[in-house]
């Protein structure tokens, strides 16, 4: 019945238009499904270690909630002995989207960023995109990295206040 409808000269344009719209809708569904299934890897290269004592702990966040120091909101966390400088840490099979990285040079191996009596960090730290640090930790949006392809690389320079 569809063929008979499309054979009439008056309705040929309408039939072609409906066909094109149908194809366009199918393509948009394919694109939407591809984007939700897209995954990639994030490689973090950490520079600026004062020494090789302790470990580097790298926390990956997928939202502003808890960034940069609430471990309950971390998507993934890895701690590695500092065997080489720069130190490279890989996160694999991440869903497409925005992420932010917070790093500490955990010199005493306790897994936390130690602070002095007035709250200033006494161990090294850093963030993806190396945002300028003034009086507080950066906002999530200042440190975000978009994962939208197979491989994304980020370089982080550690900061020491003393």
pLDDT digits (tens, 9 = 90+) for 65-120: 999 999 999 999 999 999 999 999 999 999 999 999 999 999 999 999 999 999 99
In this structure, are 97 and 131 located in the same domain? yes
- Residue 49: predicted pLDDT: 98
The pLDDT of residue 16: 43
14 and 70 both lie in a single domain: no
Higher pLDDT, residue 5 or 70: 70
Structurally, how many domains does the chain consist of? 2
Domain that holds residue 139: 40-157
Count CB atoms within 10 A of the CB of residue 55. Answer: 20
Residue of 18 and 92 predicted with greater confidence: 92
Check whether residue 20 and residue 67 sit in a common domain.
no
Judgement on whether residues 44 and 31 belong to the same structural domain of the protein: no
> Where would I find the beta strands (DSSP E) of 9-157?
39-47, 55-61, 74-81, 87-95, 97-106, 124-127, 144-147, 151-157
CATH number at residue 147: 2.60.40
Are 32 and 7 within one domain? Answer: yes
Q: Do 60 and 119 fall into the same domain?
A: yes
* Position 162 confidence tier, pLDDT thresholds 50, 70, 90: confident
In a domain, 98, yes or no: yes
Q: Is the same domain home to 33 and 94?
A: no
Residue 132 — pLDDT band, cuts 50, 70, 90?
Answer: very high
Q: Are residues 108 and 124 in the same domain?
A: yes
Whether residue 116 is found in the same domain as residue 79? yes
The answer to whether residues 9 and 71 belong to one domain is no
Judge whether residue 15 has pLDDT over 90: no
The answer for residues whose C-beta is within 8 angstroms of residue 22's C-beta and 6 or more apart is none
pLDDT in tens, 32-78: 444 557 899 999 999 999 999 999 999 999 999 999 999 999 999 99
Q: Is residue 162 part of a domain?
A: no
């Amino acid at each position: 019945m569809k063929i008979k409808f499309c054979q009439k000269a008056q309705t040929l344009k309408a039939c072609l238009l409906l066909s094109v719209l149908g194809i366009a809708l199918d393509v948009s569904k394919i694109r939407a499904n591809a984007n939700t299934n897209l995954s990639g890897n994030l490689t973090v290269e950490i520079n600026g270690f004062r020494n090789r004592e302790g470990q580097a702990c790298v926390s990956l966040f997928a939202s502003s909630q808890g960034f940069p120091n609430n471990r309950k909101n971390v998507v993934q966390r890895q701690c590695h002995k500092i065997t080489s400088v720069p130190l490279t840490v890989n996160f694999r099979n991440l869903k497409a989207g925005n992420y932010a990285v917070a790093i500490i040079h955990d010199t005493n191996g306790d897994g936390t960023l130690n602070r002095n009596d007035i709250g200033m960090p006494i161990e090294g730290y850093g963030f993806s995109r190396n945002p300028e640090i003034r009086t507080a930790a950066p906002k999530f949006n200042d440190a975000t990295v978009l994962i939208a392809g197979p491989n994304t690389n980020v370089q982080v320079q550690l900061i020491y206040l003393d």
